[in-house]
Every structure is written in structure tokens, then in C-alpha cells.
Structure 1
């Protein structure tokens, strides 16, 4: 069952639980004005007991480097809870932002939420972070 966490004029954040993963779907531009809303939404979900996340950026037309810091912060919090983090973004342009920020090898990237959630979360989660866990 999908539910909305954040809805503003600039951005919408919705969640769904699929195969043990909490899929956090972001719709809208992620920048200095909106990245904190995403951070707060995921931290709230962590507080509710969610541990394994797919950060779905498929509907994000633009993201800036401020968001990279947000992803690192979230990964640290998720790791503290022995969780997992996967990122979906089919756009090569979007993945380039992660590459230029030095984070391309630190996370697992998928082209779609369906691909990211086809296997249940592993027990070790982010145990090997910030390196690849494949």
C-alpha cells in the first residue's frame, strides 16, 4: 500500500513496501530547497522501524550536489540500523552527478524500483559501505 509522506509545490515523496524494501519515490527537482524534506522523510521511516530502502529517483528531472551529502547522511543512519540502501535512477546524466561527487562506486544503482526490489534485502545490508556490496 503506497502512502504519501511529503507533498509540496516543489516535490512529492511517497512510500511503498515491496519484498522487504521501503521504496521512497521522489517526484520533483532535488535541490537546496527540497533535499532536507527527503532526509526528514527517510529519518521518520527509520524511526518507524523501516531498515531497507530503495531511493527511487526515476521521477527526478534534476538533482544538485547538495543531495549527495543527504544520501551520505542517510546511508550512515541506515547503516546504524543494519539496513540497506539502493538507488534507482535510469538517467546517465543523474548517475554522472554521483560519479562527479565520488559516490558512483559507494552505492548500488538500479534502473527501476522493480529491478531493485526483485530480491529481498541481504542480512549484511550496508556492512561493507562505503564500498560496493555486490
Structure 2
């Protein structure tokens, strides 16, 4: 595979942020995805939405990065929500049971709405 990966924070609002991921998530790029996501969480956005619209490939290294991101978000009393998950990755999440703790939505907007409903801002 290649090192082509794009990461862009597209939404931040209180404890919620959306990170747009594009390209290939593999052994070469998964560490960058993890670092960027953990940086967003550390900036005070523990409820993270990963927009996977532009993901063209994801191997086991990428899958493990998603699990690591989810664990770090949970440790920060947050969550990881996925948006626009490619079919292959969606099947992998279903087969492993992770789709039950890392929910996915068809779009970032739907994921934001769901997260805002599920996790209101503290007073």
C-alpha cells in the first residue's frame, strides 16, 4: 500500500469533534491516524466522530488503530462514533462485535446529531 492518508478536523464543538479520514489506513499510515485522533481527544474533545467517507483501504493495522482510538476516548470518558463506513470495514466491525460499542451512521451530520442527543454538554 501507500502512505496516502489525509486527516482533517472538520468540526469541533465543546466535547465533540469530527475528524475526516481519507485514503488508505495501513501499517504505514495507522500510527498517524492514531496520533491525530489522540491529539484531538487531548484538546478536550473526548467524543470523537471519525468520518471515513474517503477511506479507500483499511487493513488490520487500521482496524487496530480504530480500537486504540476508541479505548483512549473511553478512558477520557468519551466515545468514538463512525460516519460513512466503507462496506468492508463495516462488515469487519459487525463480525467482531465492535459495531455495538463503536456505532456508525451514514453521514457526519447524522453522527453529530446522535452524539449531541446522547451526550449533552455538562452545565
Check whether TM > 0.5: yes
**Which has the larger share of helix?**
2
Structure 1 contact 68–101 (Cα < 8 Å) conserved: no
Shift in Å, 1:109? 0.8
Alpha carbons of structure 1 residues 43 and 90: separation in structure 2 relative to 1, 3 Å: closer
Shift in Å, 1:121? 5.7
SS at match of 1:118: helix
Partner of 1:16: 10
Partner of 2:31: 36
Structure 1 contact 30–64 (Cα < 8 Å) conserved: yes
SS at match of 2:82: strand
Shift in Å, 1:123? 3.8
Shift in Å, 1:88? 1.2
Could you tell me which runs of 5 or more consecutive residues in structure 2 were left unpaired when the two chains were aligned.
none
Aligned residues: 117
SS at match of 1:117: helix
Shift in Å, 1:71? 1.4
1:74 aligns with 2:69: yes
Alpha carbons of structure 1 residues 106 and 99: separation in structure 2 relative to 1, 3 Å: same
How far, CA to CA, are the matches of 2:75 and 2:117 in structure 1? 16
Could you tell me which runs of 5 or more consecutive residues in structure 1 were left unpaired when the two chains were aligned.
1-8, 125-134
1:65 to 40, 53, 60: 60
Structure 2 contact 41–47 (Cα < 8 Å) conserved: no
SS at match of 1:41: helix
Moved over 4 A (4+): none
1:50 to 45, 49, 52: 45
Shift in Å, 1:68? 1.8
